[in-house]
Chains A and B, each alone.
Chain A
């Protein structure tokens, strides 16, 4: 199975400041079609997860542009340019290239 490793697992941030979460996969996520199916999810407290980013860097509909994804090979990053109060929650990376689908452990973002 592909192991997804996130860091940090806890991220205290100041409102208005940037935040960055790293995700590393144990093997390449390049699919046979040439795409990299690396996705990011946000789970606000008490709510269902919501996909933010698909295929490394594409924002889902309605996702603010302060969220961005980047990376290649086995190293990926989710960045929040200026953290807002509504960004508090747990963020997960997930690979959709290989079966079984696997998630990172989650990174808890909180306000300092």
Chain B
């Protein structure tokens, strides 16, 4: 089982970024998938989850209306579209399998700076 995130980087305040998570080693289309983030030196914060079929997304209040989770089961890939980014969104973003996070990727760093 492997989860490989990409798409992180440096972005200006108010900007956008799209993260991707390529999954392998399991039947991606059968599982809820999630994003969890960790600000520098801080704890873990759940961001968003999406059910296997791609419907019924869940969002943390801190990102609702700004972030959009989606998935392409034909490509075994999970996405996180992040808009209106602020300094508080600076973090390592992890892709995780299921909504109880039984497997994690290596993370991708997002830095929001003015």
Q: Are B61 and A54 in contact (CB under 8 A)?
A: no
What is the size category of the interface that chain B forms with chain A? 20 to 34
A100 within 8 Å of B (CB atoms): yes
List A contacts of B44 (CB < 8 A).
41, 43, 49, 92, 94, 103, 106
- A48 touches B (CB below 8 Å): yes
Bound form: Cα–Cα A99–B36 in Å: 14
B102's partner among A43, A51, A90, A105 (CB-CB below 8 A) is: A51
Task: Report the bound CA distance from A106 to B102 in whole Å.
Answer: 18
A102 and B104 contact, Cβ closer than 8 Å, known pairs A48-B94, A49-B94, A96-B99: no
What's the Cα separation between A75 and B101 when bound, in Å? 21
Cα A96 to Cα B98 with chains together (Å): 10
Q: Which residues of B contact A43 (CB under 8 A)?
A: 44
B111 within 8 A of A: no
Check A50–B100 contact: CB distance below 8 A. no
**In whole angstroms, how far apart are the Cα atoms of A103 and B106 in the complex?**
19
**Are B43 and A105 in contact, CB atoms less than 8 angstroms apart?**
yes
**Min C-beta distance of A100 to chain B, whole Å:** 5
Q: How far is the CB of B10 from chain A (nearest CB, A)?
A: 21
Q: What residues of chain B lie closer than 8 Å to A90, measured between beta carbons?
A: 43
CA distance A48 to B44 in the complex (A): 11
Measured between C-beta atoms, what is the minimum distance from A38 to chain B in Å?
9
* A100 with B58: CB separation less than 8 A: yes
Name 11 A/B residue pairs within 8 A (Cβ), A-sorted.
A39-B100, A43-B44, A48-B94, A48-B105, A49-B36, A60-B102, A94-B44, A94-B101, A96-B99, A101-B99, A103-B43
